[in-house]
Structure 1
């Protein structure tokens, strides 16, 4: 699993991601994110790496206080 920054154009990616959510209600926005995650997971393809990513995301989510 890559944990160091690896995006060629991180600001452009973020801007495109945010723009894709414009005018979407929360349900459609969450659906877009879910579809994006599945497409990116398919690009990765490696089951073990995907499981590592799930664990890392969950661990970081558990460390953030709600609010």
Structure 2
């Protein structure tokens, strides 16, 4: 299953800023917990097991 490779987030720079700003005053452990929770929330929203497996493989690929 191929995932989207083109930018698909409206105002992606604003989204990135919001994400970074939301963690600005957190410890490393708090940031990791928030990121883990966010991944699980978004995975639940996607809900497609095949897409989630493809995303895991893509994210685990080293540059």
Which residue of structure 2 aligns with residue 45 of structure 1?
47
Stretches of structure 1 lacking an aligned partner (at least 5 in a row): none
Q: Mapping of 1:1-67 within 5 angstroms?
A: 1-59=3-61, 62-63=62-63
What is the CA-CA distance between 1:58 and the residue it aligns to? 0.6
How does the TM-score come out when normalised to structure 2?
A: 0.89
> How many residues get paired?
61
SS of the residue corresponding to residue 60 of structure 2 reads helix
Q: Which has the higher contact order (CA 8 A, sep 6+)?
A: 2
TM-score calculated relative to the size of structure 1: 0.85
Structure 2 residue runs without a partner (length 5+): none
- Deviation beyond 2 Å, 4+ runs, structure 1: none
